[in-house]
């Protein structure tokens, strides 16, 4: 290599080494956003997931944390903790009601208002934030007024930066269960953007100024990379079982398994599975607006199933149990946003009914089957005369020798006889007809 070429090469090498740290810093500062995806009721799992997402976004330098939300609402105490987590966040938090057809109802309304940026996809809705009791029932007049006033105060505080129209709408969402489409919410100032998809949202938010912990932050999100933060396996499991249909199926499976274990103890597997299913079902029922009338009807259904098996009432109580199970599932949750699917109700009721009908049939069959042990088991059985029976002798039956008495004439040794009666330890026998 010529000296001039070597000199040029060394110059380029030193220049590359000099620029390398700057290129690394530039790569590290490329904007990105963290994404959480939430679908379902407000639960303790949702709270822990959001808190973990905020901590991660604060630590990794994300431009913003975007929560893609689709919820029918949930407990107000959990809602308050989520709102506090959003307000305390040291990173811009965006709540994006998505996909089309999703809603931020009830508690989801105030969670959306608490975000630094609120957005909705076309075809989504927000609102209907009127409070109900922990079991989904209407509150008493005094309690309802207290709870509504508290929620209205929160709604006013969260919507204050969005203008008078937004404040008025937020109050009406609590007082009158008012709801709004994405376009209506945007016109009222309740939300900041209507975005078709995530890319559209990132483009629209670019240059938008938000206030985070009394600091003014300008978002730089156009073309930002997306980092999704999925739920952990345990979080996914607990979140899935809060689906009303899954909760109902787990409850039914759990009770079926426990009853099966009680009817045929010793295997333990059915009992263990039943206990696990019931624990998961009780967790779900603890965070969903349960109607106790529905639970009572479901419990009555299984009582009827069990009594039918024990008493063998020809399946009459099983039919009643199926009706009670279906009725209980239909009213298990008061809120129209929390309903067990009709197809699942019918399927579970039919499978459960067929299972117990099968068990009842087996019980009846066992009761009608002739006894094969004891005195009743010998009557009608065939034996072989070991000695001449005139009128007494011995017969061989089931590998045992028994004293026997002929009831219709002598029987020669080696002839087959049938047992017609038993008196103590002596059998009354009759010669079998030839052929």
Q: Do residue 123 and residue 42 come from a single domain?
A: yes
C-alpha distances (whole Å) from 13 to each of 23, 27, 378, 391 are 15, 20, 105, 124
Kind plus residue range of the DSSP H or E element containing 163 = none
Residue 9 inside a domain? The answer is: no
**pLDDT grade for 125, boundaries at 50, 70 and 90:** very high
Same domain flag for 409 and 333: no
Is residue 359, in this structure, part of any structural domain at all?
A: yes
| Residue 313: count of CB within 10 angstroms of its CB | 15
Q: Which of 81, 106, 130, 152 is catalytic?
A: 106
Residue 375 pLDDT = 59
Domain membership flag for residue 344: yes
Residue 303 and residue 161 in one domain: no
Q: What is the pLDDT of residues 137-186, one digit of tens each?
A: 454 566 667 878 888 999 999 999 999 999 999 999 988 889 999 999 99
Q: Check which CATH number belongs to the domain holding 415 and give it.
A: 2.40.50.140
**Residue among 119, 123, 38, 126 nearest 78 (CA):** 38
Do residues 36 and 52 touch, judged by C-beta distance below 8 A? no
Domain shared by 72 and 149, yes or no = yes
Cβ 98 vs Cβ 70: under 8 Å: yes
Residue corresponding to tokens 């994006």: 96
Is 117 contained in some domain? yes
359 with 395, same domain: the answer is no
- Cα-based distances in Å from 99 to 42, 103, 180, 307: 17, 9, 16, 48
If you average pLDDT over every residue of the chain, what do you get? 83
241 and 254 Cβ atoms separated by less than 8 Å: no
At residue 305 the predicted structure's pLDDT band, cuts being 50, 70 and 90, is confident
Q: Are residues 379 and 364 in the same domain?
A: no
pLDDT band at 196 (very low <50, low <70, confident <90, very high): very high
- Tell me whether residue 10 is in a domain: no
Q: Catalytic site residue 146?
A: yes
Tell which of 368, 385, 417 closes a domain: 368
CA atoms of 396 and 385, how far apart (whole Å): 6
378 and 364 in a common domain: no
The catalytic position among 145, 146, 347, 362 is 146
Max Cα distance, the chain (Å)? 135
pLDDT per position as a tens digit, 42-62:
888 999 999 999 999 999 999
User: What's the CA gap between 279 and 241, in Å, rounded?
Assistant: 11
Nearest to 82 by CA among 105, 39, 53: 53
**pLDDT tier at 276, thresholds 50, 70, 90:** very high
pLDDT tens, residue by residue, 129-139: 766 544 444 54
Same-domain check for residues 333 and 189 = no
Task: State the total domains in the chain.
Answer: 3
Lowest mean pLDDT among 25-34, 64-73, 247-256, 296-305: 25-34
CATH number where 39 lies: 3.90.226.10
Give the model's confidence band at 27: pLDDT under 50 very low, under 70 low, under 90 confident, else very high: very low
**Residue range(s) defining the domain that contains residue 390:** 374-431
Q: What is the pLDDT of residue 141?
A: 62
> Does the structure show a pLDDT above 60 at 25?
no
φ, ψ dihedrals at 286, nearest 5°: -75, -20
Give the end of a domain, one of 326, 348, 368.
368
Q: Determine the Cα–Cα distance for residues 322 and 315; give it in Å rounded to an integer.
A: 11
> Among 349, 368, 387, which residue terminates a domain?
368
228 and 259 housed in the same domain: no
Residues 354 and 426 in one domain: no
Q: Is position 74 within any domain?
A: yes
Does 383 lie in the same domain as 300?
Answer: no
User: Same domain for 285 and 316?
Assistant: yes
């Amino acid at each position: 290599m010529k000296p001039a070429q070597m000199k040029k090469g060394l110059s380029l090498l030193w220049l590359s080494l000099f620029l390398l740290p700057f290129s690394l810093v530039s790569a590290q500062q490329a904007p990105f956003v963290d994404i959480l995806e939430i679908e379902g009721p407000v639960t303790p799992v949702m709270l822990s997931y959001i808190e973990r997402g905020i901590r991660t976004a604060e630590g990794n330098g994300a431009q913003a944390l975007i929560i893609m939300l689709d919820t029918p609402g949930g407990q107000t105490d959990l809602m308050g903790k989520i709102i506090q987590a959003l307000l305390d966040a040291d990173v811009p938090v965006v709540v994006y009601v998505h996909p089309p057809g999703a809603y931020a109802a009830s508690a989801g309304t105030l969670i959306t208002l608490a975000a630094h940026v609120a957005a909705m996809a076309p075809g989504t809705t927000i609102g209907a934030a009127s409070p109900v009791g922990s079991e989904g029932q209407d509150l008493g007049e005094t309690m309802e007024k207290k709870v509504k006033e508290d929620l209205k105060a929160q709604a006013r505080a969260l919507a204050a930066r969005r203008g008078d129209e937004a404040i008025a709408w937020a109050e009406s969402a609590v007082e009158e269960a008012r709801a709004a489409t994405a376009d209506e919410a945007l016109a009222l100032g309740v939300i900041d953007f209507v975005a078709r998809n995530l890319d559209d949202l990132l483009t629209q938010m670019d240059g938008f100024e938000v206030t985070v912990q009394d600091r003014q932050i300008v978002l730089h999100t156009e073309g930002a990379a997306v980092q999704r933060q999925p739920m952990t396996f345990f979080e996914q499991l607990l979140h899935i079982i809060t689906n009303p249909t899954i909760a109902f199926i787990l409850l039914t499976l759990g009770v079926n398994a426990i009853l099966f274990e009680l009817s045929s103890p010793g295997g333990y597997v059915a009992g263990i599975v039943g206990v696990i299913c019931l624990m998961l079902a009780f967790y779900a029922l603890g965070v969903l607006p349960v109607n106790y009338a529905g639970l009572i009807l479901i419990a009555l259904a299984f009582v009827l199933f069990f009594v039918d098996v024990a008493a063998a009432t020809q399946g009459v109580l099983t039919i009643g149990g199926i009706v009670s199970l279906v009725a209980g599932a239909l009213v298990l949750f008061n809120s129209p946003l929390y309903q067990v699917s009709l197809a699942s109700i019918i399927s579970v009721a039919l499978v459960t009914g067929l299972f117990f009908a099968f068990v009842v049939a087996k019980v009846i069959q066992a009761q009608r089957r002739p006894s094969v042990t004891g005195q009743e088991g010998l009557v009608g059985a065939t034996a072989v005369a070991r000695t001449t029976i005139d009128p007494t002798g011995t017969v061989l039956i089931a590998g045992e020798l028994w004293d026997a008495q002929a009831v219709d004439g002598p029987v020669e040794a080696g002839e087959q006889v049938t047992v017609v009666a038993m008196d103590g330890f002596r059998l009354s026998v009759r010669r079998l007809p030839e052929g």
